[in-house]
Homo-oligomer: A and B are copies of this chain.
Amino acid sequence: MAVAFTDEKDHRAVAGFCRSGGALDRESAVRPREVEVLIVGAGLAGLTAARALDGAGISFAVLEARDRVGGRTFSRCVGDVVFDLGGQYVGEKQARILALARELGLHQSPTPHEGKTWIELAGRRASYRGAIPKLPISALLQVQLFLWLLDRAGREIPPGEPWKAANAARFDAHTVESWWRRFVVGRSARAMLRLTNRMTFGVEADEMSLLSLLQYTSSAHGLSHMTAIEHGSQQAYFVEGTQSLSTRISEKLGDRVVLGVPVRRIAQDDQGVSVHGDGGSWRARHVIVAVPPLLAGQIAYEPALPSARTALTQRFPAGAVIKCIALYERPFWRERGFSGELISDAGAVGYALDATKAGGPPALVGFMEGSTARAWSGTAPDERRRTVLTELARYFGEEALTPVEYFDQDWAAEPWTRGCSAGFAVPGALSRYGHALRAPCGRIHWAGTETAREWFGYMEGALESGERAAAEVLASS
């Protein structure tokens, strides 16, 4: 297997290497910095917790492994126009993030989606208008049956505590696919459900526990709401980009947000907690770990965490998404009556959408997700570019091949994310060990969208989790 190196990576390796023996280490080992609360991770969850502590006059520091804030939100400017390479869309039922955006002075704009949608599934290609995919009637009925049964099962889930459902063990013994295979038998319907799973969660239907899917959907007003644009959770975006939520919070917090510090070890004792990272050690009364379960599981804890917590983080992998954006001179798809929306299991791009930002150049966004994203992760950027553009051209026209600019973001390859859009639980995990998802372990509190009671996996859930973790700490101070 060939290994490619970029200059940047070599440089980082060398820099990290030299730092390990540097002055910072020795100084902090002797005299660790002290605050009341340490927060690990400067994504939306961690920064929300920091804001809450700041408001309460509690001293804190936020330790972030990356050299930027925002976690799974990441924006890129092209001239004055901001494109989101991570979390982007918000919906009208997401009160926290809409309020935060207002407070920080961000502007909302509706997701463009006028025109016909392309669909290609199980070898059939068609276009249609409106919200009902053009599928054989029998397939539509089976998909509808799936949605009904899923909604019915979802109503059994106690909000935020799927492990307490009466049927938790039964739901959790199934993968999503082993569940719907019993009543969804048609080829097109199965293809649609596989693709829906892949494009909504970045995960294949045969990887994810049914109980994990129910945790997701029941916390977010159901699968139909999650995938809807009008009045749904894909309704709007922020003109300034979602990362600006984090950069604006972070500007106010100043040097209490420390970048470039991967946390390696957290040790509790009777008096407090020591947090050891590359570049120094800190001491506090409490710590809020605001990273995905998968990454939380990579930190060394002393004493060892309860076994249920360890088992859970071992069973909570992440999906995979490569988000690909192409900018054009003209909106050729709109000129032909298409919205830019594409649903397909025929190639590398499973889902596409018009990504034009208010006042910006015409743009399309294509998503590689689940096993497709895994297959394309780590490939040469040029090859990905060619593949994505060729795929878009098959539906929207030759013009797709010649963008003004193209860029993409491979989330599974990011060492401080390792997958997107969120973590999910494999069978047998959530019913047995789910109770450890947000239960504090001594002085350690857990945040991150995967610990949210509402809007699991969304930016909205990240905010809720940060508020909740900060409230826990304040209550126990």
* Contact between chains at B428 and A303 (CB < 8 Å): no
**For window 168-187 of chain A, which residues contact chain B by CB distance below 8 Å?**
169, 172-175, 177-178, 181
- Bound together, the chains give a CA A30 to CA B14 distance in angstroms of 11
Nearest B residue (CB) for A315 = B317
- Bound together, the chains give a CA A115 to CA B262 distance in angstroms of 57
**Chain B: minimal CB distance from A448 (Å):** 16
**Chain B: minimal CB distance from A136 (Å):** 24
* Contact between chains at B314 and A317 (CB < 8 Å): yes
Q: Which of A101-109, A213-221, A269-277, A398-406 contacts B (4 or more CB under 8 A)?
A: A269-277
Nearest B residue (CB) for A429 = B207
- Bound together, the chains give a CA A267 to CA B5 distance in angstroms of 11
**A317 proximity list for chain B (CB < 8 A):** 311, 314-315, 426
- Bound together, the chains give a CA A175 to CA B421 distance in angstroms of 25
* Contact between chains at A307 and B206 (CB < 8 Å): no
**For window 260-310 of chain A, which residues contact chain B by CB distance below 8 Å?**
262, 264-265, 267-270, 274, 276, 281, 294, 297-298, 300-304, 306-308, 310
**For window 357-413 of chain A, which residues contact chain B by CB distance below 8 Å?**
371, 373-375, 377-378, 412-413
* Contact between chains at A428 and B20 (CB < 8 Å): no
A29 touches which one: B10, B20, B28, B442 (CB < 8 A)?
Answer: B20
**A441 proximity list for chain B (CB < 8 A):** 1, 3
**Chain B: minimal CB distance from A106 (Å):** 32
**A439 proximity list for chain B (CB < 8 A):** 1
- Bound together, the chains give a CA A207 to CA B430 distance in angstroms of 10
**A320 proximity list for chain B (CB < 8 A):** 307, 311
Query: Interface residues of A toward B: which range?
Result: 35 or more
* Contact between chains at B21 and A172 (CB < 8 Å): no
- Bound together, the chains give a CA A102 to CA B117 distance in angstroms of 70
**For window 7-57 of chain A, which residues contact chain B by CB distance below 8 Å?**
9-10, 12-13, 16-18, 20-21, 25-30
* Contact between chains at A204 and B428 (CB < 8 Å): yes
Asked if A29 meets B17 with Cβ closer than 8 Å, knowing A173-B175, A207-B315, the reply is yes
Nearest B residue (CB) for A418 = B310
- Bound together, the chains give a CA A442 to CA B9 distance in angstroms of 15
A-B contact pairs, 5 of them (CB 8 A): A9-B303, A13-B302, A17-B274, A20-B29, A207-B429
